[in-house]
Chains A and B, each alone.
Chain A
Amino acid sequence: MLHTRQSPNSSRIRFRLLADRSAKIMFGAAALFGIVIMGILLVRITSEGLSWLSLDFLTGRFSTTPERAGIMGAVLGTFWLLAVVVPVTMLVGIGSAVYLELYSKNGKIRTFIQTNIGNLAGVPSIVFGILGLTVFVRALGFGSVVLAGGLTLSLLILPIVIVSAQEALRSVPHQLGDASYALGASKWQTIQSVILPVALPSILTGAILALSRAIGETAPLVVLGIPALLIPFPGGILDRFTVLPMQIYYWTLDAALVADYAHLAAAASIVLLISLFLLNGSAIYLRNKYTIKA
């Protein structure tokens, strides 16, 4: 009796354990899948573009001759773009977060703005491009210049900046604020000289991650009519400009016509990826270094 009952059971247990072990391998493989694909992508881009990456490429002007083409114009374009995006998103992003976290009473207005920010974060970036095209390029008459691109990208990343700044403000221990009030400081004094300085590293982390999103963004800029084939360097926020993703886009599309363009696109991708990894790395470093140990 015991024997007959045990034998099917033990084979069933063996099967269940086997299923568990194989599932673990399969799930682990799934977790590695994305990383493997990323490895292939990196190897592919490096093998295509590394030999084209030179000082001349980094400092050269745009050219239709692949051997003479450079990306300095796009790098300067990104620089000027950030000159618009950084101040706008920092001011509006931190300001909104301070209002929502520290000033607004837990009322309807706050819920409304908060829901609205959540929904904005899910709007496809190309729709922001259409907003920018209609408002900044056409209605306000800026044209396809740095200011129009910068304001459009600012609106795009603002929800991310606001939400991460809110989290940073929320993580400041409230005893700090209470102590400041107890010393007779007013609300704004407390925010300005106690709460904001403590929250600043986390706010910056979130802001840097959002900025790296803006630097890698292409779709809204295409809609704004930002050119990829630009010879003069931009010298200010009212100049026409181009950025790395735009150059990669056009080089990829025209790779069917000029085979070497694929190498240029790969080389430009290497530069873009390295700068984004450095940015994200510095954000993570900042987060780890200044995290408040509560």
Chain B
Amino acid sequence: MTSPFQASSSSNSSIRDLIRHNQDKKSFRKTIEVWIPRFLFLLASLSVLTTVGILIILLTEAIEFFKTVPILDFFTGTVLKPLSQTPAFGILPLVMGTLVSSGIAILVAGPIGLMAAIYLSEYASRRVRSVLKPALELLAGVPTIVYGFFAFTFVTPLLRQWIPSLEATNILSPGLVMGVMIIPMIASLSEDAMRSVPQAMREGSAALGSTKLETALKVVVPAALSGIIASFVLGISRALGETMIVAIASGSSKNFTFDITESMQTMTAYIVEVTSGDAAAGSTVYYSLYAVAMTLFATTLLMNLLAGKIARKFREVY
């Protein structure tokens, strides 16, 4: 056995190595501590870059479009004939199709979603809730293409038995199915709003002799109104941007009409039609894509900001 003192010179150098090694490790760790946050910041700013990218692309290409089609003609034109010999680019038929289909959707989803939310929040026992809520979540998870298939091959033929004048592609059927699609969204957001109403308010109302219905309609719903309205606005915004259901079931006629039994085209369906055809890059039809997309983007963005503002501004503070 060697004494530690005998090997002093060699152990000295090995300790020095150890210290140096440790210092290297430390400085490596320090470098990591400095660079990791910078790298993560880059990753986080990617989402900002996405927004900037969308804005720049839509704006520059739309401006290119407005060089050939005056901006006023585009937003006030009621005729859209992109592929005709004498093309006309008025967005109003698409706006009409979008508004009508989203209008039908919210007429279905608004009342049903709100009533479902009242049931879940005020009436349902914990056990019923624990079954109903996941089932509604499943409904929200069905891909829109499957809803489109359902609208086109089931809902439309069914409706045509009652409304013989209904065309094979029409705006009514996709509107209804879009309504079903956004029920879970409205129900779940409205329910969240109602559940955040303090229990004491319900108890106060019950103590005054109200029935559950009276408490729900006169106390809970008014108290949660900002959240409920916000959920409606978000639902409409979702319907405005919905693509596959209308692309399949409402056809591609660019009708400027209020007749819901007719085929109408939405902004989203127009984008699908133009991109699945072969519009040459650089043609007016190609650029019209960006003008329509910009309109859609601006509309949904405004609706979403509005929803956020309503939810924040008119929130009751307890």
Inter-chain contact B153/A48, CB cutoff 8 Å? yes
Inter-chain contact A45/B212, CB cutoff 8 Å? no
How would residues 263 to 277 of chain B score, 1 for a CB under 8 Å from any chain A CB and 0 otherwise?
000001001100110
Residues of B contacting A222 in the complex (Cβ-Cβ under 8 angstroms): 243, 247, 272, 275-276
- Is B1 part of the binding interface, using a Cβ–Cβ cutoff of 8 Å? no
Q: A24-B123, A34-B112, A117-B47 are in contact. Are A125 and B243 (CB under 8 A)?
A: yes
- Is A245 part of the binding interface, using a Cβ–Cβ cutoff of 8 Å? yes
- Is A83 part of the binding interface, using a Cβ–Cβ cutoff of 8 Å? no
Interface residues of A in 174-188 (CB under 8 A from B): 186-188
Bound-state CA distance A280–B136 (Å) is 13
- Is B208 part of the binding interface, using a Cβ–Cβ cutoff of 8 Å? no
Interface residues of A in 264-291 (CB under 8 A from B): 265-266, 269, 272-273, 276-277, 280, 284
Inter-chain contact B213/A30, CB cutoff 8 Å? no
Inter-chain contact A34/B37, CB cutoff 8 Å? no
Inter-chain contact A28/B123, CB cutoff 8 Å? yes
Interface residues of B in 239-257 (CB under 8 A from A): 240-244, 247-248
- Select which of B43, B112, B180, B296 is within 8 A of A99 by beta carbon: B43
Inter-chain contact A135/B141, CB cutoff 8 Å? no
Stretch of B9-17, B50-58, B75-83, B222-230 on the interface side: B50-58
User: Which secondary structure dominates where chain A touches chain B?
Assistant: helix
Inter-chain contact A17/B211, CB cutoff 8 Å? yes
Q: A41-B142, A124-B297, A131-B53 are in contact. Are A28 and B119 (CB under 8 A)?
A: yes
Query: What residue of chain B has the Cβ atom nearest to residue A265's Cβ?
Result: B149
Q: A124-B300, A245-B143 are in contact. Are A116 and B271 (CB under 8 A)?
A: no
Query: What residue of chain A has the Cβ atom nearest to residue B271's Cβ?
Result: A126
Inter-chain contact A272/B57, CB cutoff 8 Å? no
- Is B289 part of the binding interface, using a Cβ–Cβ cutoff of 8 Å? yes
Interface residues on B, range: 35 or more
Q: A31-B116, A91-B43 are in contact. Are A38 and B275 (CB under 8 A)?
A: no
Most buried by A among B43, B58, B142, B146: B146
Query: What residue of chain A has the Cβ atom nearest to residue B149's Cβ?
Result: A252
- Is B148 part of the binding interface, using a Cβ–Cβ cutoff of 8 Å? yes
Q: A113-B47, A116-B47, A252-B152 are in contact. Are A27 and B142 (CB under 8 A)?
A: no
B: residues with CB less than 8 A from A are: 29, 32-33, 36-37, 39-41, 43-48, 50-51, 53-54, 57-58, 61, 111-113, 115-116, 118-120, 122-124, 132, 134-139, 141-150, 152-154, 168, 180, 183-184, 187, 211-214, 216, 234, 237, 240-244, 247-248, 268, 271-272, 275-276, 281, 289-290, 293, 296-297, 300-301, 303-305, 308
Q: Which 8 pairs between the two chains have the least Cβ-Cβ distance?
A: A124-B241, A216-B143, A30-B115, A95-B43, A27-B119, A99-B40, A219-B243, A122-B304
